[in-house]
């Protein structure tokens, strides 16, 4: 008879595992092409980035093997311990010497480890365990976890009511900002998608969309002066936004008074007032952060993205060279190691093996290859969601959505950087970009999910 271990191995999602190997192999081959050096032609030369990437892959597979021989209950039991350890690493890295203006790395000779990459694992596990332990349906309580955030007015009560969840995500966000690493901070906001799936976030996504629109408008016009209509009064852009908010508020007040049932007006008024207060606070917060907190190069990246400055050979060099390389690939591409812009000799594209690895792939394989890559990666993301939805364990479902959200943010932002739709904030492309920390952390995230999913028919949580 087959034992329990054989049953667990029998339920491994081999398609999901195959996607992992396809992406890492394509990634290493692309790195090899991007940094190819005739003096170091060997694929396994540890003096090259592709050689080191293979080494990191070997370590990642070793860690994945260890994970797969652990019991899933072990992962659940020590989820908070893993989270605490990664938080201590985030604190410890703040006392290291800065590299490129940030304290984000532990240096070991020519190698470096970035603890914020591994902190994502800790947050994913801790969030999964917390939501599993506090699942209202499992405890026989009301399944309506949206109470307190049914409207924008309830944002603060929601945080107070769910302070543990806010702390699990908020602590690493604060520590990462102290490094400072704005790119990784943005990735940590991906866990809000998980809260939305589990019913903890209510309308918070709508709030974030509105906030993003207001923030973008604020950055576009905050330093602009214009004349008030039919007058000679000169207003700043920020004052203009407040006037627009006032006009919109008046319109919505009339709508509520004339088209909303009397018994529902009180809630609608509270929602409107809360929305206006949050919007006003956001206008001043965004403008203040842009003026007083962001560094000059961060401001420049935002201004370039918003089209406020045009400097193709200066501040906009990275993005313009990246788009030029992608466009030069044409429909079918120039062929493997035939790139004329995103290669090691020209060095036309900066960071072509890390942040802009997609440029090398796109120039060599063209539109068709880029389309295939996006489809392949999208399939992996959808596969993660499918894995999450087929779970009987709340812990595994939440963890699956955490992994999917992290990968989605990295994929969306990295590709967006390459084609000029996102600011350049140093977000690696999972399994593709060169980097030991990212390769190991993404692999550990992947193999934990693969392990938990393999026990979905064996262990019922």
Q: What is the pLDDT of residue 440?
A: 93
Confidence class of residue 164 from pLDDT cuts 50, 70 and 90? Answer: confident
| pLDDT for residue 194 is more than 90 | no
The domain segmentation of the chain, as residue ranges, is 4-10+43-139+310-454, 219-292
Q: Residue 416: its pLDDT value, please?
A: 87
pLDDT (0 to 100) of residue 29: 92
Confidence band, pLDDT 50/70/90 cuts, at residue 153: very low
- Residue 209 vs residue 332, higher pLDDT: 332
pLDDT digits (tens, 9 = 90+) for 258-269: 877 777 777 777
Highest mean pLDDT among 153-167, 212-226, 443-457: 443-457
Q: What are the pLDDT digits (tens) for 277-315?
A: 777 777 777 777 667 666 676 677 676 666 666 655 555
pLDDT per residue as tens digits for the range 202-235: 556 666 666 666 666 666 666 665 555 555 555 5
pLDDT band at 56 (very low <50, low <70, confident <90, very high): very high
The pLDDT confidence band at residue 442, using thresholds 50, 70 and 90, is very high
- Positive or negative torsion for Cα 68, 72, 77, 79: positive
Mean pLDDT over the full length of the chain: 78
Per-residue pLDDT tens digits for 365-407: 989 999 999 999 999 999 999 999 988 888 999 999 999 999 9
Q: Is the dihedral of CA 81, 86, 87, 92 positive or negative?
A: positive
**pLDDT of 148 over the 50 cut:** no
Position 38 confidence tier, pLDDT thresholds 50, 70, 90:
confident
Residue 44 pLDDT > 90: no
**How many other C-beta atoms can be found within 10 angstroms of the C-beta atom of residue 92?**
12
Over pLDDT 90: what percentage of the chain? 23
Find, among 193, 239, 238, 199, the residue nearest to 219 by Cα: 238
SS (H, E, C) the chain: CCCHHHHHHHCCCHHHHHHHHHHHHHHHHHHHHHCCCCCCCCCCCCCCHHHHHHHHHHHHHHHHHHHHCCCHHHHHHCHHHHHHHHHHHHHHHCCCCCECCECCCEEECCEEECHHHHHHHHHHHHHHHHHHHCCCCCCCCCCCCCCCCCCHHHHHHHHHHCHHHHHHHHHHHHHHHCCCCHHHHHHHCCHHHHHHHCCCCCCHHHHHHHHHHHHHHHHHHCCCEEECCCCCCEEEHHHHHHHHHHHHHHHHHHHHHHHCCHHHHHHHHHHHHHHHHHHHHHHHHHHHHHHHCCCHHHHHHHHHHHCCCCCCCCCCHHHHHHHHHHHHCCCCCCCCCCCCCCCCCCCCCCCCCCCCHHHHHHHHHHHHHHHHHHHHHHHHHHHHHHHHHCCCCHHHHHHHHHHHHHHHHHHHHHHHHHCCCCCCCCCCCCCCCCCHHHHHHHHHHHHHHHHHHHCCCCCCC
> For residue 235, what are the β-bridge partners?
226
Residue 144 has pLDDT above 70, yes or no: no
The mean pLDDT of 425-431, rounded to a whole number, is 87
Instruction: Answer yes or no: is pLDDT of 318 > 50.
Output: yes
Instruction: Count CB atoms within 10 A of the CB of residue 19.
Output: 19
Mean pLDDT of 247-260: 79
Among the listed ranges 324-333, 360-369, 398-407, which one has the minimum average pLDDT value?
324-333
The model carries a pTM of 0.80
Q: Which residues contact 158 (CB under 8 A, 6 or more apart)?
A: 148, 149, 201, 202, 204
What confidence score (pLDDT) does residue 143 get? 45
CA–CA gap between residue 96 and residue 91 (Å, rounded)? 10
Please tell me the distance from the alpha carbon of residue 56 to that of residue 387, in angstroms, as a whole number.
26
Which tens digit of pLDDT belongs to each residue from 61-76?
999 999 988 888 888 8
Residues with Cβ < 8 Å from 123, sequence gap 6 or more?
83, 86, 168, 169, 172, 188, 191, 402
Q: What is the pLDDT of residue 233?
A: 57
Average pLDDT value for residue range 79-83? 91
Top-confidence range, 108-112, 190-194, 343-347: 190-194
């Amino acid at each position: 008879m087959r034992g329990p271990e054989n049953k667990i191995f029998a339920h491994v999602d081999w398609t999901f595992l195959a996607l992992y190997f396809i992406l890492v192999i394509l990634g290493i081959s692309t790195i090899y092409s991007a940094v190819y050096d005739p003096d170091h032609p060997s694929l396994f030369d540890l003096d090259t980035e592709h050689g080191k990437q293979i080494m990191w892959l070997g370590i990642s597979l070793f860690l994945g093997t260890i994970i797969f021989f652990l019991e899933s209950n072990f992962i659940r039991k020590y989820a908070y311990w893993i989270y605490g350890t990664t938080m201590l690493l985030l604190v410890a890295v703040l006392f290291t010497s800065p590299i490129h203006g940030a304290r984000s790395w532990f240096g070991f000779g020519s190698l470096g480890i970035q603890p914020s990459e591994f902190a994502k694992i800790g947050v994913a596990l801790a969030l999964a365990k917390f939501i599993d332990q506090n699942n209202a349906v499992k405890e026989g309580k009301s399944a309506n976890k949206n109470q307190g955030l049914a409207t924008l007015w309830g944002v603060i009560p929601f945080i107070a009511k769910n302070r543990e969840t806010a702390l699990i995500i908020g602590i690493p966000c604060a520590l990462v900002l102290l490094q400072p690493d704005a790119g990784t901070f943005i990735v940590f906001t991906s866990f809000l998608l998980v809260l939305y799936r589990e019913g903890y976030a209510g309308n918070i996504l709508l709030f974030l969309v509105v906030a993003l629109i207001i923030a973008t408008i604020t950055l576009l016009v905050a330093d602009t002066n214009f004349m008030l209509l039919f007058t000679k009064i000169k207003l700043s852009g920020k004052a203009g936004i407040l006037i627009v908010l006032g006009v919109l508020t008046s319109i919505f007040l009339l709508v509520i008074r004339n088209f909303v049932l009397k018994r529902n007006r009180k809630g609608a008024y509270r929602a409107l007032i809360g929305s206006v207060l949050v919007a006003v606070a956001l206008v001043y917060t965004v403008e203040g952060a842009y003026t007083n907190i962001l560094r000059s190069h961060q401001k420049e990246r935002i201004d370039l993205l918003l089209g406020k400055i045009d400097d193709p050979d200066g501040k906009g060099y990275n993005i313009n060279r990246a788009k030029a390389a992608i466009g030069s690939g044409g429909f079918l591409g120039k062929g493997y190691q035939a790139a004329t812009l995103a290669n090691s000799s020209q060095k036309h594209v900066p960071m072509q093996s890390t942040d802009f690895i997609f440029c090398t792939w796109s120039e060599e394989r063209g539109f068709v290859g880029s389309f295939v890559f996006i489809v392949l990666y999208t399939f992996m993301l959808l596969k993660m969601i499918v894995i999450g939805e087929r779970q009987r364990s709340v812990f595994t479902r939440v963890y699956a959505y955490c992994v999917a959200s992290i990968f989605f943010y990295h994929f969306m932002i990295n590709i967006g950087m390459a084609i000029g739709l996102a600011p350049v904030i140093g977000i690696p492309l999972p399994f593709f970009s060169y980097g030991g920390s990212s390769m190991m952390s993404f692999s550990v995230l992947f193999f934990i999910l693969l392990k938990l999913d393999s026990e979905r028919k064996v262990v019922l949580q």
